Amino acid sequence: MARGERGGEETACRGGPFRLQWLGVNPARSIHNLALVGFMGTGKSTIGRVVAEHLQFGFVDTDGLIEERLGRSISDIFAREGEAAFRQYEKHALASLGQQHRLVIAAGGGLAADPANMESLKAHALVFWLVASPETILERVQTQTHRPLLQGPDPLAKIRALLAAREPAYRQADVFIHSGLRAPREVAQQIAHQFLMARQR
């Protein structure tokens, strides 16, 4: 489903040529990377790695980049410096990616919630929003402890609230893809295919 069609339906590959304009993308944009945005637990890193393999692109995960640069975990950054400081680190990480080419970028779940960050990503990347329901997200994240924002007493309520707040920003992505109930490899194949088709001009 291209941006503009509503809801969380799966995107459909219809066999015809996908052009950037077909996707509602300004063809003047200089797209040389692919970005995956969306909530925690929607599979951005897992799927992103497979997409990168398909396209023979490099892969970067913004959380991983921050952890590597600072030599500290995301949980530690949140605990010692708070979320606002983490968001600044995210912005710095993002700023360094635009000059790179042939990169699949898995963006931390809150990164694209900032409209300026989404703009920055869209300057060089075709942006895919991975969509999943709050229940699926909870199922995926509930045994994990590395996401400080979901460590409270009612993670489902937190997921719902954050998703509702972030959805308008996620909707600025170029393509929406449901990743909830499908195998990562299948979703990755579809993303790689759409990316290649969209770039044919």
Given the rule CB under 6 A, which residues bind ligand S3P? 40, 44, 63, 74, 108-110, 147-149
Decide whether 23 or 42 has the Cβ nearer to ligand S3P.
Answer: 42
Decide whether 23 or 90 has the Cβ nearer to ligand S3P.
Answer: 90
CA distance linking residue 193 with residue 185, whole number of Å:
12
Rounded to a whole number of angstroms, the minimum distance from the CB of residue 23 to ligand S3P is 24
Decide whether 5 or 83 has the Cβ nearer to ligand S3P.
Answer: 83
Q: Quick one: angle between helices 134-141 and 155-170, nearest 10?
A: 120
Q: How many CB atoms lie within 10 A of CB 102?
A: 12
Decide whether 31 or 37 has the Cβ nearer to ligand S3P.
Answer: 37
DSSP state letters, 115-148:
HHHHHHHHTTEEEEEEE--HHHHHHHHTT----G
On whether the CB atoms of residues 152 and 104 are closer than 8 A, the answer is no
Rounded to a whole number of angstroms, the minimum distance from the CB of residue 63 to ligand S3P is 5
Rounded to a whole number of angstroms, the minimum distance from the CB of residue 78 to ligand S3P is 7
